[in-house]
Every structure is written in structure tokens, then in C-alpha cells.
Amino acid sequence: MPQLTTNHDAKLFQTIEERHSVKQYEKGFKISEKEKEQILTAAALAPSSWNLQHWKFLVIEDEKKKEQLLPIAYNQSQVVDSSFTVAVLGDLEANKNAEAVYQTAVDNGFMTEEVKNTLVGQINGAYGRGGTFARDAAFLNASLAAMNLMLAARGLGYDTCPMGGFNGAEFVKAFNVPERYVPVMLITVGKAAKPAHLSSRFSLEEVVVKNSF
């Protein structure tokens, strides 16, 4: 398994190395609202194309809602045993965020109104061309936020499991997700009941190609 050099920020690299997918949680363990906010704030600080912030986070913590989620997640027990589950949703209409994002930049003197209008026009043009662009951007950028969320949780001493195994169509229906958003993944968050199984990783020689194939 590749090893991280920890000469600079040892805590950051330790957090990355310690993050593993946990599927068994201490049922009933509560994470404070302050820490939930820290985790979600870290997720929202992720980078995104054009700074459009293509995400919404649906936090599922009510016990009845967890039970409702269970069959949708193919009866994977971590969704009811963990402290809460975050449904990471990608924004298919993130271009609608552009005006507000760039007007703030104009108001703060970071760009001119002319530059803002040019950027907003380019963004709307990209989204207006159709195809898979909007969906691809929603998944790409929401996934960046998801990684931030998992690392933040681990940094606070909690564990997570990203889940792609769920019925997206049923999820949308059961949780009243607007058409604007697409479910990207579920992430369970909580305290591990037992350590996760360590997983192997390919060596850098197997995964890195320099300059060209």
C-alpha cells in the first residue's frame, strides 16, 4: 500500500490514512449539532467548477426516516445504526447559482460587472447545449464535496461509508427530492462498533502514468 509522507502536516495525512469505510456502527451514538455543522461546513468548502457549488446535503437522522431509507438502501444496516446519513445530491441546474455567486464577487470588488456578465453567459451557454454536461458536472462536483465530508468526519474521530448501492428513483420519490437534484451517493456517519477491515491499494507504479500512455 502506498505510504504518505508526513513531514509537513502530519495530522492531515494521518486523517487520510485512517479513513476507511465502516459498515458497523454503535447504534444510538449521537454526534453533536456543532460537530455535524463542522462536517457539513467542510463539505461545502469543496472546490467546484465555476464555484457554482453543485450540491445539496439531505441529512437523514430521524429514526422513522432511517427506517424508511433502509429498504431503499437494500437493507444495509448502517443506514439505521449510524448516527445519521447524508444524501449527497448533485445540482443539475447549477448554472442558476451563477448570478448570485458572481454578484457577490462584484459587490466585494473582486471582478467587474462586465466580467460577471461574460462568465454567467458562458455558464448558461454550456448548460444550454444539453447532452450529459449538467449531469456529469453534478456528479463530479458533488463527489468533491463528499470527500471533504468524509475526511472532516474522520478528523473529528468519526467514521463514514460512501454508498452507491441504493435505489435512486425510489429515494427521490420517498424523500421528495426536487427534479433539479440527482442522488449521487449516501454517506453514513457515526462511531464504529469495530474497526474497519483494512483494504489493499495498488502501488503508485500501477496507478500513475507520467505525461502520456
Question: Does 7 have pLDDT greater than 70?
Answer: no
pLDDT in tens, 164-212: 999 999 999 999 999 999 999 999 999 999 888 888 999 999 999 999 9
Output the average pLDDT for the chain.
95
Q: Which helix (H) or strand (E) holds 188?
A: strand 181-190
**Three-state secondary structure call for residue 62:** coil
Q: What is the mean pLDDT of residues 101-130?
A: 97
Chain centroid offset of residue 150 CA: 8
Distance CA 64, CA 47 (A): 34
Contacts of 153 (CB under 8 A, 6+ apart): 39, 159, 160, 189
In the chain, the percentage of residues whose pLDDT exceeds 90 is 92
The overall longest dimension of the chain from CA atoms, in Å, is: 56
In 3D space, the residue among 170, 171, 144, 140 whose CA is nearest the CA of residue 60 turns out to be 171
Domains and CATH numbers, the chain: 21-91+142-207 (3.40.109.10)
